Structure 1
Amino acid sequence: MAETKTPTFGEINTIRDILMGEQMTEYNARFKDLQAALDALEQRLEQRIDDWVARQESAQAALEQRMNGRLQALEQQLQQQGATLGEKIETVSSADRVRLGHMLSELGQQISQLSEEA
């Protein structure tokens, strides 16, 4: 009986190259082209994402700056209004004290006049 020899891996590759060599070369070239196109798209996408992130960070920083400015202006306005109200309270209190003093003086004079008449 004759023994059949199992082909080795190198022999299988040789047979495949003989049968499909041109097609395999074409497929390999197409796969390389597709991979290059995919890599280029990936780079463009990463660049666009990086640009978008940079724009968002810039917009956020500008918004924070505007909000801080508005909050500082509001704080100053509140402090000014508080000071103005404090001054008005002092003015009203002083005026009330003066008026109360005049009223008590007048009341005292009226009491004096009534006691002299009696």
Structure 2
Amino acid sequence: MANTKLSELMTIRDILMGEIIEEYNGRFEALEKKLAEHEAEAQATVQALHQRIEQLAAENAAAHAQLESLLKNQSSLDKQALGAMFLSIGQELKAG
């Protein structure tokens, strides 16, 4: 008997609210689809940003290595020039 009443209530509910329930189900499905699209876009953006960060880190490391090499080279040249200058000054003082 309780099952029959429940079944009757479900039938009445479907008659009265069926259209509204279908409309809401359609809305929820559309929202779920949009959410999935946004999640996919966000995931693609995160992946692209991660790749860009890795690229920038590699470029930064290469630039750092290049600058370090240039600095070492310039330091060596400066030491040689300074040594030649001291040698020249020493010779001038000795001669004169």
TM-score tier after normalising by the smaller chain length: 0.7 to 0.9
Task: Work out the number of aligned pairs and report it.
Answer: 86
CA deviation map 1:27-66 (0-9, x unaligned): xxx9754422112112111110110110110011011011
Structure 2: where are the runs of 5+ without partners? Answer: 1-11
Could you list the runs of 5+ residues in structure 1 that have no partner in the other structure? 1-29
Q: Percentage identity across aligned positions?
A: 20
What displacement does 1:102 show? Answer: 0.7
| Residue of 40, 45, 48 corresponding to 1:66 | 48
Structure 1 residues 72-108: Cα deviation after superposition (integer angstroms, max 9, x where no partner): 1111111111111111110111000100111111111
Bigger relative contact order, structure 1 or 2, given CA contacts below 8 A and separation 6+?
1
Structure 1 residue ranges (4+ consecutive) displaced by more than 6 angstroms after TM superposition: none
TM-score (norm 2): 0.80
Task: Give the aligned CA root-mean-square deviation in angstroms.
Answer: 1.8
- Out of 79, 83, 86, the residue aligned to residue 104 of structure 1 is 86
Q: 2:70 matched to 1:88?
A: yes
Structure with more of its chain in helix, by fraction = 2
